[in-house]
């Protein structure tokens, strides 16, 4: 693996500084919870958003793995999705009771009615909406997704889009997370938050 060019690092630093400048003076009163399907960019965008807002970042899936002491794939296979959702709900409730941060949630978290109600009460939810082709390009790079362990992952993703997009649409804000750079989505989130919080 080749080392990153110094110009690439410089560009990333400049982009991060620009996002911090764009977010200057923006202080969310509640945790920012990113929702959406796997591959929408919740973790990557969440990290960059947290850096711009100078807030801690938490990935709910990582917190669940830490709390359970086993991988999400293992939880699904050993205990089933129902038990996973129960644990996910408890972990997210605990996180939302803590200090304001940026939270990347798993694809099914916002679909759970109790978790969704909790987010509506304690967080500003943001749906990162992406088209099927973009999602597929991103998820095929990793093989740890329990819901995609089937013969036709694209058909599974299309079914999830059909089932979940109407529910994700209940989020406080919707941001398009297409094939463009993640920093564009971060900038759009910052602008949308500023507009929402100025009302």
Q: List, in order of start, the domains of the chain with CATH numbers.
A: 27-197 (3.40.50.300)
Backbone φ and ψ of 125, nearest 5°: -90, 140
pLDDT tens digit string along 118-166? 999 999 999 999 999 888 887 775 555 555 556 678 888 899 999 999 9
pLDDT at 151: 65
Mean pLDDT of 73-98: 89
| Angle, in degrees to the nearest 10, between helices 42-53 and 6-22 | 60
pLDDT tens digit string along 31-58? 999 999 988 999 999 999 999 999 999 9
Tokens linked to 83: 């038990």
Taking the CB of residue 91, how many other CB atoms lie within 10 A of it? 24
* Rounded CA separation 159/180 (Å): 24
């Amino acid at each position: 693996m080749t080392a990153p060019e110094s110009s690439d690092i410089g560009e990333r630093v400049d982009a991060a500084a620009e996002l911090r400048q764009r977010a200057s003076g923006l202080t969310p009163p509640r945790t920012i919870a990113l929702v959406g399907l796997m591959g929408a960019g919740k973790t990557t965008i969440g990290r960059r958003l947290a850096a711009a807002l100078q807030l801690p970042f938490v990935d709910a899936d990582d917190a669940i793995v830490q709390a359970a002491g086993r991988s999400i794939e293992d939880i699904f296979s050993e205990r089933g999705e129902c038990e996973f959702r129960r644990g996910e709900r408890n972990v997210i409730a605990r996180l939302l009771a803590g200090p304001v941060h940026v939270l990347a949630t798993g694809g099914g978290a916002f679909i759970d009615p109790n978790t969704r109600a909790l987010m509506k009460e304690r967080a500003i939810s943001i749906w990162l909406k992406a088209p099927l082709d973009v999602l597929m390009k991103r998820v095929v790079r990793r093989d740890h997704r329990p819901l995609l362990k089937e013969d036709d992952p694209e058909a599974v993703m299309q079914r999830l889009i059909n089932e979940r997009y109407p529910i994700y649409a209940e989020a406080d804000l919707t941001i398009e997370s297409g094939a463009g750079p993640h920093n564009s989505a971060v900038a759009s989130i910052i602008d949308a938050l500023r507009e929402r919080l100025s009302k």
